[in-house]
């Protein structure tokens, strides 16, 4: 399976470099946030109404995919280190979001932190 085999490859990558010592969950949460910041940087001066088209420009797309790769790897490393299943965590959160944002109240209205 794609997910499981990638996790195996990540484990091998880390083990070969003896990097497990640096990969406690605190450091991996930092890695994840700093990579998310790099992804954010790609869009910081792109207006909302150009963001889809920008994401399709070949050079931008390659950089964005590269940052998505970094964020995804950091997330999988953190999940593997803590033993948290990312798909179970996402399904749980989606179920909770269905309750927090009932269709009747949320339709067409952006959820802001204050609506939570």
For 59-93, give one letter per residue: b (16+ CB within 10 A) or e.
Answer: eeeeebeebeebbebbbbbbbbeeeeeeeeeeeee
Judged by CB under 8 A, the chain residues 88 through 107 that form the site for a second copy are: 88-94, 96-98, 101, 103, 106-107
**Min dist. Cβ of residue 29 to a second copy (A):** 5
Among 11, 40, 57, 99, binds a second copy (CB under 8 A): 40
Query: How far, in Å, CA of 41 to CA of 59, rounded?
Result: 15
Taking CB under 8 A as the criterion, which residues in 57-86 touch a second copy?
Answer: 59, 61, 63-66, 68-73, 75-76, 78-79, 81-82, 84, 86
């Amino acid at each position: 399976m794609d997910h499981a085999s990638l996790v195996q490859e990540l484990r091998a990558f880390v083990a070969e470099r003896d990097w497990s010592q640096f990969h406690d969950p605190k450091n991996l949460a930092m890695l994840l946030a700093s990579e998310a910041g790099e992804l954010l940087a790609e869009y910081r001066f792109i207006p909302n109404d150009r963001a889809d088209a920008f994401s399709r420009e070949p050079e931008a797309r390659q950089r964005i995919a590269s940052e998505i790769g970094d964020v995804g790897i950091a997330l999988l490393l953190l999940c593997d280190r803590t033993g948290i299943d990312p798909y179970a965590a996402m399904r749980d959160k989606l179920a909770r979001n269905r309750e927090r944002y009932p269709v009747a109240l949320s339709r067409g209205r952006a959820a802001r932190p204050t609506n939570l």
